[in-house]
């Protein structure tokens, strides 16, 4: 049984009013250097898990004519990102699904928003191999990102990027510049991870 199926079954008799689907993983690196099995595994977590949860809980919410869904995608969903090609593509599915359902489910009283975090102070920064000193924008504290995301959801927005500066940069920076800049940053992250994974030198 998948994690999504287990969660759906475990909450079958609960009166759930809000689904926050935050499944996701990733590893920087060149697409063709990664194993197909691992790419499939990550696609299942990054996209199919959201699909299963939204389909199940969306039906419950529509049946009772109220409810809320927040799908956590990621900023790379807005464009291709070299050295994170697979993650950007899988998160784009979540963005497009949620944006469409924002309008599709609204007549049934179900609110849907897609969250596109890109630079929030979480352990994901270290897991991905990013160096905080090299980040172009200082990471936003997680509690601040949550507060403004909740406010955006309550305002009925279809999509929200946490962080005012990040929203401004995303809006103003030419797409080609963003692709190259973020691609270089994730390439360095991949090299950082490779160094981290090297065996300790023998003495």
Q: What is the mean pLDDT of residues 166-181?
A: 91
CB 114 within 8 A of CB 158: yes
Contact by Cβ (8 Å): 54, 100 = no
Which tens digit of pLDDT belongs to each residue from 130-164?
888 888 888 999 999 999 999 999 999 999 999 99
Q: What is the pTM of this model?
A: 0.90
| pLDDT for res 203 | 33
Q: What is the pLDDT of residue 133?
A: 83
**Euclidean distance between CA atoms 73 and 22, whole angstroms:** 8
Q: Which of 49, 147, 145 is nearest to 91 (CA)?
A: 49
Give bridge partners of residue 160 from the DSSP assignment: 115
Question: What average pLDDT score do residues 82-103 get?
Answer: 96
Ranges of each domain in the chain:
16-196
52-63: pLDDT as tens digits = 999 999 999 999
- pLDDT at position 119 is 87
Region class of 74: left (phi > 0), else alpha (psi between -120 and 50), else beta = beta
Is 16-196 a CATH 3.40.50.720 domain?
yes
* Mean pLDDT, rounded, of the chain: 92
Q: Is residue 198 predicted with pLDDT exceeding 60?
A: no
pLDDT band per the 50, 70, 90 thresholds, residue 39: very high
CA distance linking residue 43 with residue 27, whole number of Å: 12
Distances (CA, A) of 106 to 20, 46, 112, 163: 17, 25, 8, 26
């Amino acid at each position: 049984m998948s994690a999504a199926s287990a969660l759906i079954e475990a909450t079958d008799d609960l009166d759930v009013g809000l689904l926050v689907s935050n499944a996701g993983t990733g590893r920087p690196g060149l697409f063709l250097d990664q194993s197909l099995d691992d790419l499939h595994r990550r696609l299942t977590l990054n996209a199919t898990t959201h699909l299963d949860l939204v389909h199940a809980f969306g039906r419950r919410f529509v049946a009772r004519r109220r409810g809320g869904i927040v799908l956590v995608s990621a900023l790379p969903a807005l464009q291709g990102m070299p050295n994170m090609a697979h993650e950007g593509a899988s998160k784009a599915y979540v963005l497009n699904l949620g944006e469409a359902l924002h309008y599709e489910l609204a007549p049934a009283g179900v609110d849907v928003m897609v969250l596109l975090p890109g630079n929030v102070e979480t352990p994901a920064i270290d897991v991905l191999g990013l160096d905080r000193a090299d980040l172009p924008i200082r990471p936003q504290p997680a509690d601040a990102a949550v507060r403004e995301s909740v406010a955006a959801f309550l305002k009925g927005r279809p999509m929200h990027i946490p962080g005012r500066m990040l929203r401004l940069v995303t809006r103003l920076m030419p797409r080609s510049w963003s692709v190259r800049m973020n691609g270089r940053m994730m390439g360095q992250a991949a090299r950082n991870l490779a160094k981290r994974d090297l065996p300790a030198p023998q003495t």
